[in-house]
Amino acid sequence: MTERYIEVSLVKRGITGTAILLDDRAPLTCAAVWDALPLGSDVYHAKYARNEIYALFPPFAESEPPLENPTVTPIPGDLCYFSFAGSELGTKAYGYDREVRAGTTVVDLALFYERNNLLLNGHVGWVPGIVWGQVVEGLEELAEGCNDLWRTGAAGETLSFRRL
């Protein structure tokens, strides 16, 4: 298979990076994401996982991908896919109770931009993610934008993914 690349952007900040899809390790997840592109939504900075930003989307795959290429310790540049029931996330503790409701499913596409991440949630325990992509260009700039997002806030910022 030919290598496939996407652009990962913090739109308002004008920061972009390039990521390769890990089709050999997470083929079903990569196919689901690729077929759904372009995607963009409000960005959030993680509270518990540490150096992570993410956006939430309605389910877009015909069926949720299995846990392929899983991790609970993502490294800088990892793009991860999570699927959650709305009842898992629909709480003010996570900051997006207005958008996520019980009885719904939400897809979380995340970018990890620095080391020392641990996918352990105080409410539910370990939360393995599917590593479906790796940023290969522009990670340093994205990390600077992510740190700025942490310090100054995420309001009005969009995390977007599109085909290259």
Question: What pLDDT tens digit does each residue of the chain (164 aa) get?
Answer: 799 999 999 999 999 999 999 999 999 999 999 999 999 999 999 987 899 999 999 999 999 999 999 999 999 999 999 998 766 665 555 555 555 666 678 899 999 999 999 998 877 789 999 999 999 999 999 999 999 999 999 999 999 999 99
Q: Are 83 and 90 in contact (CB under 8 A)?
A: no
- pTM more than 0.95: no
**Which pLDDT value is given to residue 29?**
98
Residue partners of 110: CB distance under 8 A and separation at least 6 = 46, 49, 52, 53, 54, 74, 79, 80, 81, 82, 129
**Which pLDDT value is given to residue 123?**
74
**Which pLDDT value is given to residue 111?**
98
Look at residues 163, 131, 2 and name the one whose alpha carbon lies nearest to residue 65. Answer: 131
Q: Which residue has the tokens 């979380």?
A: 108
